[in-house]
């Protein structure tokens, strides 16, 4: 990724606006062990307390890297129960990277975030309907399958 992805201006800009990047060699002790790093590149998103919220392993092209980092930001907000912030980030991912492999999870988590912030189950059903229409064979569609029964 050093030769292809990281040098891209949009990647540099996105990372500097949203993260404090730290590079750790995969064999560095104790961090590689503490974070269970077995291969490179491994990108781990942690919150200020050092709690992991998302990871990717392997090469990602620039658009996929940015989409994965957006998902990581959204998941961090989601796991901290900042649902309005999570929804905004998931919507940003879906508008800027609608064909990304990270889009289905963003659709799912956006629906869950909307439900958790309103206690209205309709966003869960809407998430399932969009997933089944746009990503019929995706794992997130399967996870949302029960939501089809919501009235």
**Per-residue pLDDT tens for 90-148?**
999 999 999 999 999 999 999 999 999 999 999 999 999 999 999 999 999 999 999 99
Domain boundaries, the chain: 9-149
- Asked whether the beta carbons of 57 and 26 are under 8 A apart, the reply is no
Give residue 26's pLDDT. 81
Written as six digits, the tokens of 135 are 């990503």
**pTM above threshold 0.85:** yes
Rg for the chain (alpha carbons), in Å?
17
Written as six digits, the tokens of 150 are 């919501």
9-149 fold: 1.25.40
pLDDT at 1 over 80: no
Give residue 3's pLDDT. 82
Q: Give strand pairing partners of 56.
A: 43
Give 75-84 contacts, CB < 8 A, sequence gap 24+. 75/45, 75/109, 76/45, 76/47, 78/109, 78/112, 78/113, 79/53, 80/47, 81/116, 83/113, 83/114, 83/116, 83/117, 84/117
Give residue 140's pLDDT. 98
């Amino acid at each position: 990724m050093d030769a292809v992805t990281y040098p891209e201006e949009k990647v540099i800009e996105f990372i500097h606006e949203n993260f404090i990047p730290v590079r750790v060699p995969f064999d560095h002790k104790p961090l590689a062990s503490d974070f269970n790093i077995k291969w490179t590149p491994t990108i781990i998103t942690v919150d200020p307390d050092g709690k992991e919220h998302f990871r990717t392993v392997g090469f990602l092209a620039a658009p996929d890297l940015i989409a994965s980092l957006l998902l990581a930001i959204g998941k961090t907000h989601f796991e901290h129960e900042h649902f309005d912030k999570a929804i905004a980030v998931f919507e940003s991912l879906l508008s800027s990277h609608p064909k990304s492999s990270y889009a289905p999870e963003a659709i799912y988590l956006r629906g869950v975030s909307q439900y958790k912030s309103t206690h209205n189950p309709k966003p869960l059903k809407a998430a399932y309907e969009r997933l089944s229409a746009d990503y019929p064979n995706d794992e997130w569609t399967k996870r949302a399958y029960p939501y089809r029964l919501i009235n």
